[in-house]
Structure 1
Amino acid sequence: MKKIKGIFSKPIFVKLFIANITSHLGSVIGVTAFMFYLLDRFSNQPMYATLTELMHSLPTLFVFFLVGVFADRLDRQKIAYHCDTICAFLSIVLLGVLYIGWMPLIMAVLFLQSAIQKFFFPAEQGILQGILSKDDYSTAAGLNQMVMSLFMLFGNGIAILIYWLSGIYGAIIFDALTFIISAIFIRKCSVPEEVRLPNGYHSLKDLNIKFVMKDFIVGIQYIINSKLLMALISGFLVFGIVNGGFTVMPIFILKYKLAPESYEEYSILLGVAFGAGVLIGSFIATTLLQKFKFHQMIIIGLLFSGSLIILSSFASQTWIFLGVIFISALGLPFVNIAIGGWMPSIVEPKMMGRVQGWISPLMMVSQSITLGFLAWSFPSILSIEMLYWIVGGCLIIVGIFYSVILPKYIKGNQQIKGGTVTQNI
């Protein structure tokens, strides 16, 4: 509790924390409401819901080589601010496009908005790394995970409620307002220049193709030269498959197997069950950070959650399914908090943007491939149960991989005890 009070005593962190919440809230509500809108409008064509999620992930493949370089070379505060303002503007544009009703244009706007959003997180993470001490990293990661679990707990319910009360137009307006609020809080932050510009001042004109590609290659070399970092990041390729499956399969199993007539109502309960599991798991994981090493937390979480996700596919009743999903969610915060607290400790501040810039594309490549594969194969080839076997199996595979690789690299490069990391290099 003292650490949480200490971290909230920093005004910059508080403003960034609120900005991150509001920006994420708008994104969650907008995407969720739009999915339900498409499921209502194209009930017999689940492909459209999958394509919406694909428009959320696919843009990473087009901007990944820019995201990290921009976060390390340009003003990180300005990047985060302009991401929010542009996304708010595109939400307003989406209102008009939705009124026209031409699906390719709707998907194009969603694609562009998602592409802009990809620049937000590396810039924001770079600022957080600069204003926090190493002892605060795991606390901030735990706090962030708790907040994200509240989104899981109430996000779907809020999105569906807004959708029911004001329709898709009301949900999009709400989406735009949250981006505006986030932009205001980011603009009010007084971030030190060395945090905003860790590599000195560069203008957008400086970042020509040659400069960007050179910086991008430097980021690759930095990751490859650190075996520990390379091993840790390689797992994100499989995490993308998990994310891709999880964006659609909970709704699919309710609509096409367990509760076809009331899947919207049960999706709220599913969000509550999953969010409650993550929230409780966050408290447990934060407590155990002082007793377990980071890599041990990650491995435990992956193996536990992967096994339970596979088990959930065999549920024949909705309440049993919700119960198993609740238990499976307990292990996910172990992974997220450990990685969130560990990564800033092993990455140099001037390289954080380029490292974070590689994580998203790795995840989004596999996530986009997964969503494209699902749009093509479900339900003609894959059953809903198979989706859960694939996702759960991926988590177990990464857990086994980490259990073999990480201890070997940690022993040679770092000493990790409790929630702190001490560099030996």
Structure 2
Amino acid sequence: MKNLKEIFKNKIFAKLFFANFTSQMGSVIGVTAFMFYLLDRFSDQPIYASITELMYSLPTLAIFLVVGVVADRFDRQKIAYYCDAICVVLSAALIFAIWYGWMPLIFAALFLRSAVQKFFFPAESGIMQGILKKEDYAVSAGLNQMVMSIFMLFGNGLGILAYWLGGIYGALIIDGITFAISALLIKSCTISTEARLPNGKHRMKDLNIKFVMKDFKEGMFYIIKNKLLISLIVGFFVFGVVNGGFSVMPVFILKYKLAPDSYEQLSIILGAAFGIGALIGGVVASTVVQKVKFHHLIVFGIIIAGAFTVLSSFAPNTWSFMALVFLSSFGIPFANIGIGGWMPSIIDPKMMGRVQGWIGPLMMLSQSATLGFIAVSFPKVLTVEMLYWIVGGCMMAVGVFYAIILPKYIKGEKEVTGKAAAVSS
């Protein structure tokens, strides 16, 4: 609790934290409302839901070469600010596209907005690393997990409520307003030059193909030389499979198996069950992270989450399914806090953007491939139960991989707990 109070005394952190919160809130409401809008309008064509998720993941593959380079070479504060500001405009463009009613235009607006958002996280991560002490990384990761848990708990409910009360247009207006609030909070921060521009000033004309490729390769070689870092990043590829599956599986299993007539209402309860599990798991993980090694947290969380994901496919009714979802979500915060608290300690601040520039594409490549596979194979080839087996199995495989490989690379290092948070690369 003391560390929590101390970290919020950092006014820049507090503003960035709430900026991230409002930005995520609007995005969650908009995405959820749009998903149910499509399921209502095209109930016999679940492919549209999968394509929508692809529009949120494919942009990473289109811009992955420049995202990390931009975050490391240009003003990180301005990048984060302009990301939110441009998303306000694109939210309005999406409203127009839906009103016009042409699906290619709708998907194009979603694609562009998602592409802009991809620049936000590497820039914000770099700023956070520059304004926090190493001992605060685990606390920050715990807070981020709490925010994620809150959105898991209330996000679907808020999105559906906004959709019911204001329709898709009302939900997207809320989406745009929250992006605007986030942009204003970021703009109001006074951030040191070292945190904003750790590699010095650069101009847009420097951003040519030769410069980008040079920086991108530097990021690749930096990762390859750090065996501990590359081991963590390998797992992110499989996490993309998990993200892709979970973005559509819960709605699919309710709509097409457990509760076809009441899947919207039950989605709110399901979101609450998942959120409560993640929130409780986050509280427990935030408490023990000061005493337990990061890699133990990661392995425990991934294996628990994967095992209960597989078991949830065998649930005979909605209530037993929700109980299993609750148990699977309990494990996720342990992995998130372990990785989130560990990685900033082993990455040079000057390289944070380029490292994130590799993680994002790897995750999105596997996430996009998973969603594409689901779009063409469900329900013709795969059953919804098989989706849960694939995703849960991938999680347990990564957990076993981490259990074997991580201890080999941390022997001789300082104690890697949230309290120490001082693993050197």
So what's the TM-score if we normalise by structure 2? 0.99
CA distance in 2 between partners of 1:422 and 1:238 (Å): 26
The DSSP-based 3-state class of the residue aligned with 2:421 is strand
CA distance in 2 between partners of 1:353 and 1:299 (Å): 26
**Aligned counterpart, 1:316:** 316
Number of aligned positions between the proteins: 425
RMSD: 0.9
* Kept in 1: contact 2:289–2:417 (CA 8 A): no
CA distance in 1 between partners of 2:419 and 2:337 (Å): 10
**Aligned counterpart, 2:199:** 199
* Kept in 2: contact 1:294–1:419 (CA 8 A): no
Relative to structure 2, which stretch is displaced further, 65-74 or 412-421?
Answer: 412-421
Letter in 2 for 1:116: V
**Aligned counterpart, 1:142:** 142
Say if 2:259 is the partner of 1:263.
Answer: no
**Aligned counterpart, 1:67:** 67
**Aligned counterpart, 1:78:** 78
Residues 92-140 of structure 1: CA distance to partner in whole angstroms, max 9, x if unpaired?
0111111110001110110010000000000000000000000000001
Give 1:413 deviation, angstroms: 5.1
* Kept in 1: contact 2:122–2:357 (CA 8 A): yes
The DSSP-based 3-state class of the residue aligned with 1:235 is helix
* Kept in 2: contact 1:149–1:275 (CA 8 A): yes
Structure 1 portions without partners, runs of 5+: none
**Aligned counterpart, 1:362:** 362
* Kept in 2: contact 1:309–1:388 (CA 8 A): yes
Letter in 2 for 1:277: G
**Aligned counterpart, 1:55:** 55
* Kept in 2: contact 1:138–1:340 (CA 8 A): yes
Letter in 1 for 2:18: I
Say if 2:216 is the partner of 1:216.
Answer: yes
Letter in 1 for 2:295: H
Give 1:6 deviation, angstroms: 0.2
1:231-380 equivalent positions in 2, closer than 5 A: 231-380=231-380
Give 1:188 deviation, angstroms: 0.2
CA distance in 1 between partners of 2:285 and 2:45 (Å): 40
Q: 1:192 and 1:378, CA in 2 relative to 1: closer, same or farther beyond 3 A?
A: same
**Aligned counterpart, 2:101:** 101
* Kept in 1: contact 2:341–2:421 (CA 8 A): no
Letter in 1 for 2:40: D
* Kept in 1: contact 2:345–2:424 (CA 8 A): no
Q: 1:145 and 1:423, CA in 2 relative to 1: closer, same or farther beyond 3 A?
A: closer
Residues 156-176 of structure 1: CA distance to partner in whole angstroms, max 9, x if unpaired?
000000000010010111111
Letter in 1 for 2:380: S
Q: Percent same amino acid at aligned positions?
A: 65
CA distance in 2 between partners of 1:186 and 1:406 (Å): 36
CA distance in 2 between partners of 1:254 and 1:376 (Å): 20
Give 1:417 deviation, angstroms: 3.9
The DSSP-based 3-state class of the residue aligned with 2:422 is strand
Give 1:418 deviation, angstroms: 4.9
Say if 2:405 is the partner of 1:405.
Answer: yes
CA distance in 1 between partners of 2:419 and 2:43 (Å): 48
CA distance in 1 between partners of 2:133 and 2:365 (Å): 33
Q: 1:412 and 1:231, CA in 2 relative to 1: closer, same or farther beyond 3 A?
A: farther
**Aligned counterpart, 1:18:** 18
* Kept in 2: contact 1:7–1:136 (CA 8 A): yes
* Kept in 2: contact 1:298–1:335 (CA 8 A): yes
* Kept in 1: contact 2:134–2:422 (CA 8 A): no
* Kept in 2: contact 1:281–1:334 (CA 8 A): yes
* Kept in 2: contact 1:293–1:419 (CA 8 A): no
Letter in 2 for 1:56: Y
Letter in 1 for 2:88: A
Give 1:421 deviation, angstroms: 3.4
**Aligned counterpart, 1:44:** 44
CA distance in 2 between partners of 1:389 and 1:115 (Å): 31
Residues 319-375 of structure 1: CA distance to partner in whole angstroms, max 9, x if unpaired?
000011001111000000010000100000000011111111110000000000000
Give 1:419 deviation, angstroms: 3.5
CA distance in 2 between partners of 1:285 and 1:302 (Å): 13
The DSSP-based 3-state class of the residue aligned with 2:248 is helix
CA distance in 1 between partners of 2:239 and 2:321 (Å): 22
* Kept in 1: contact 2:341–2:418 (CA 8 A): no
Say if 2:394 is the partner of 1:391.
Answer: no
Give 1:85 deviation, angstroms: 0.5
The DSSP-based 3-state class of the residue aligned with 2:372 is helix
Letter in 1 for 2:372: G
Structure 2 portions without partners, runs of 5+: none
CA distance in 2 between partners of 1:121 and 1:273 (Å): 27
CA distance in 1 between partners of 2:269 and 2:320 (Å): 12
**Aligned counterpart, 1:183:** 183
CA distance in 2 between partners of 1:239 and 1:420 (Å): 26
So what's the TM-score if we normalise by structure 1? 0.99
